[in-house]
Copies of this chain bind each other. A is one copy, B any other.
Amino acid sequence: MAQRARNILFIMCDQLRWDYLSCAGHPTLRTPNIDALAARGVRFARAYCQSPICGSSRMSFYTGRYVQSHGAAWNNFPLKAGEMTLGDHLRPLGVRTALVGKTHMKADVDGMARLGIDPQSVIGVRVAECGFEPYERDDGLHGSGPDGKYDPRAPRYERYLNELGYAGDAPWDDWANAGEDDDGNLLSGWLLKHSRRPARVREEHSETPYMTRRAMRFIEDAGDAPWCLHLSYIKPHWPYIVPAPYHAMYDEKDVVPAVRSEAERADPHPIFREFMNHRVGKAFSRDEVREAVIPAYMGLIAQIDDQIGVLMRFLEGRGLMEDTMIVFTSDHGDYLGDHWLGEKDLFHDASVRIPLIVVDPLPQADATRGTVSDALVESIDLAPTFVEFCGGDPIPHRLEGRALQALLHHREPQQWRRYAISEYDYSVSPTARVLGVRPMDARMFMVADERWKYVHAEGFRPMLFDLEKDPQELADLGADPAFAGERARLLDALNLWARRQSQRTALSEEQILGMRGRSLRRGILLGFWDEAELPDELVHEKWRGARRALEPR
C-alpha cells in the first residue's frame, strides 16, 4: 500500500503564554478547540523557547539550532546566508515547505550578495525567507512613526482591507488595530487604555481569520503532494485589541492576579532591576493596565481558538487528519505584569515557557494521546521531529534538538535531556546601555532542570530559582551561599553545553566514520621504515625492485 502523503501543520501564535489555555489550567479562559488538539495529542507542559524574544526564538525553531549556534540573536538580526532551515531539510524529502504569516526573518543581504545569490531567484527567495516558500509573508506589525514604517514591506492584508472598504494607506493601524470613541475619534490599539474597545473591523476581516483562510487556500492549492505549512499568527502579540464580540468576552473578573512580590523589588539582580524600570514594566505594574489589557489578550486567544476550530473542521472535511501532524505553539510568552514586568526577554516561566501541543497521527502515537508530558522540551525539538515524521534520517550534526517521537510514541522514554537551555541577547536593550555592557557581552543563558532554574548573566552574579519550593519564581537564590552547590552544578551543565560541537555541520557522523583508515589505501604511508614493513597490497609495482633487494640472498 502506497504511503499516504505526510503533511505538517505547524501553527504558531506570537506572545501566547503557556498558561493561557483552558487545558493548561486557566481558570476562566475557554479554548475548547486547542484543548481538543491536546486531547488528540500530547501537551508538553515544560516546553521552553530557545530565546524569549520573537526574532531569535523563531530563528531557532526554523533552523533547529540554538541561538549561540545560528547567531541571529535578536529581532532583525540577519540569519546568515548558509544556515540550513526546515525547508532545506524537508524539501529533499519531497515536502513543500511554505509560510503563511510571520517569521521575523531578516535576510542576510550582504551575505547573499557576497555569495552571488540572486534575491529574485527561487533559491534566493528561500534563503531570504528562512527556507520557506513565502505563500504569504506578513510579520504582523504595520505601524509607523516619525522615522517611517516599522516594516517596509506592504502586506497583502492591507490591500485586502482596502478592497473591503477600510480606507486609507494604513488600514492595519487605523481599522484592524484601533477602536473609536463615541465622537468618532480614532483610538489606537497601541495605547493600553483602549484595549477593551472593539477593533474597527468586522471579526471575519481581522488578522487571525484572514490568515486562517490564507492557510486553507494554501492547503487547497497544494493538492496531493506533501506539505509543511507554517501558519504563524501575530496575535495575541500587541497591539492588544480585538474585534467584537471578543473584546467583551472577558473582563476584570477574569484577570488572574499578578505573580509578583515586594521582595522581588528589594535588591533585585541588576538586569532584572533595569527591565523593571522599562516603561512597559512600569505600565504593567499598574492594575488599571492589566485590567484593560488582559481581557483583550484573552479575547484574542479566544478568537484564535475559534479559528483553530475552523481549520480543524476544514482538515477533517478534506480527509487530511490521518496524514497531518499538527503542532500548536508560541514563540515566547508575555509577562503581563508578573514579576513587575511586561513583554518577554527574561527567563521567568511567564516569558520563556511556551505552549506546545503535538498531534502525531501515526498509530505509534496512540500510546500517549491525551496525555501531558513534563519532559524538558526545547523548541528546537520540533525540527528533528518533522524530519523524522517525513521519513528523513536523523541529522544530529545539524539539528541540535531531539525528535519528540521518543516522547510521543512511548509513555516512558529511555533517555531524555536533563537540562533545557535558553538564551537572551540584550545588546539592543537600554539595559545594556545603562549597565555599561558591551554588545559582545550582553548575553544571558538559562539552564533549567526538573527542579531548578539557573540564569547565567555574563559579567554579573547568576539568578537561581527552586521551582519545587518556589514555583512562582519569587525568591532569587542566586546570591545565597547555601545554594552554591546547585549553582555550580548548573553552571557545569551550561559549560558542557557551551563546549558542544555545533558548527561541524558539513559532515555527518556516518561520513566521519567512513573516513577512518581511508588515506592509507590512497598512498598516505606513515611510519613505515622500508618496503618490508609495508603490507603487500600497498607495495607499488615500482617499489618491488627495492623490496626484492631487501630479501636475504
Taken together, the copies of this chain in the complex come to: 2
Q: Which residue of B lies closest to A109 (CB)?
A: B506
Contact residues in B for A283 (Cβ distance below 8 Å): 527-529
Stretch at the interface among A325-333, A353-361, A497-505: A497-505
Is the pair B530, A191 in contact by a Cβ cutoff of 8 Å? yes
Q: Is A282 an interface residue (CB 8 A)?
A: yes
Q: Is A210 an interface residue (CB 8 A)?
A: no
Contact residues in B for A280 (Cβ distance below 8 Å): 526-527
Q: Which of B82, B149, B515 contacts A522 (CB 8 A)?
A: B149
Q: Shortest beta-carbon distance, A210 to chain B, in Å?
A: 20
Tell me the A125-167 residues at the B interface (CB within 8 Å): 127, 141, 143-150
Is the pair A525, B143 in contact by a Cβ cutoff of 8 Å? yes
Contact residues in B for A531 (Cβ distance below 8 Å): 188, 191
Contact residues in B for A281 (Cβ distance below 8 Å): 527
Stretch at the interface among A65-73, A248-256, A382-390: A65-73
Q: Which of B76, B190, B523 contacts A525 (CB 8 A)?
A: B190
Is the pair A279, B150 in contact by a Cβ cutoff of 8 Å? no
Q: Which residue of B lies closest to A441 (CB)?
A: B501
Is the pair A145, B521 in contact by a Cβ cutoff of 8 Å? yes
Contact residues in B for A494 (Cβ distance below 8 Å): 499
Contact residues in B for A141 (Cβ distance below 8 Å): 523-524
Contact residues in B for A5 (Cβ distance below 8 Å): none
Q: Is A114 an interface residue (CB 8 A)?
A: yes
Q: Shortest beta-carbon distance, A491 to chain B, in Å?
A: 8
CA distance A84 to B80 in the complex (A): 11
Q: Is A35 an interface residue (CB 8 A)?
A: no
Q: Is A257 an interface residue (CB 8 A)?
A: no
Decide: A528 near B192, CB < 8 A? Known: A149-B522, A509-B440, A546-B186: yes
Is the pair B289, A524 in contact by a Cβ cutoff of 8 Å? no
Q: Is A542 an interface residue (CB 8 A)?
A: yes
Q: Is A445 an interface residue (CB 8 A)?
A: yes
Q: Which of B127, B194, B440, B456 contacts A396 (CB 8 A)?
A: B440
CA distance A516 to B528 in the complex (A): 63
Q: Which residue of B lies closest to A497 (CB)?
A: B498
Q: Which of B188, B430, B524 contacts A143 (CB 8 A)?
A: B524
Tell me the A62-103 residues at the B interface (CB within 8 Å): 68-73, 76-84, 88
Q: Is A185 an interface residue (CB 8 A)?
A: yes
Contact residues in B for A288 (Cβ distance below 8 Å): 529
Is the pair B527, A148 in contact by a Cβ cutoff of 8 Å? no
Q: Is A121 an interface residue (CB 8 A)?
A: yes
Q: Shortest beta-carbon distance, A70 to chain B, in Å?
A: 6
Is the pair B127, A115 in contact by a Cβ cutoff of 8 Å? yes
Q: Which of B78, B123, B529 contacts A191 (CB 8 A)?
A: B529
Tell me the A176-203 residues at the B interface (CB within 8 Å): 181, 183-188, 190-194
Q: Is A427 an interface residue (CB 8 A)?
A: yes
CA distance A516 to B549 in the complex (A): 78
Is the pair A501, B68 in contact by a Cβ cutoff of 8 Å? yes
Q: Is A428 an interface residue (CB 8 A)?
A: yes
CA distance A254 to B195 in the complex (A): 86
Q: Is A220 an interface residue (CB 8 A)?
A: no
CA distance A80 to B84 in the complex (A): 11
CA distance A380 to B59 in the complex (A): 29
CA distance A146 to B523 in the complex (A): 8
Q: Which of B439, B523, B538 contacts A512 (CB 8 A)?
A: B439
Q: Which of B71, B188, B396, B439 contacts A503 (CB 8 A)?
A: B71
CA distance A265 to B240 in the complex (A): 71
Q: Is A470 an interface residue (CB 8 A)?
A: no
Contact residues in B for A430 (Cβ distance below 8 Å): 516-517
- 17 contacting pairs across A/B (C-beta < 8 A): A71-B505, A72-B506, A115-B115, A116-B118, A144-B523, A145-B538, A173-B523, A174-B542, A183-B549, A186-B543, A191-B531, A192-B530, A279-B527, A280-B527, A427-B512, A443-B499, A498-B499
If A145-B520, A191-B525, A284-B527 are given as contacts, then 12 extra A-B residue pairs at C-beta distance below 8 Å, sorted by A number, are A80-B503, A82-B115, A88-B114, A116-B124, A150-B519, A184-B545, A186-B542, A186-B543, A187-B546, A288-B529, A429-B516, A439-B512
Closest 7 pairs between A and B when the two form their complex, measured CB to CB: A82-B82, A143-B523, A71-B503, A280-B527, A185-B545, A279-B527, A498-B498
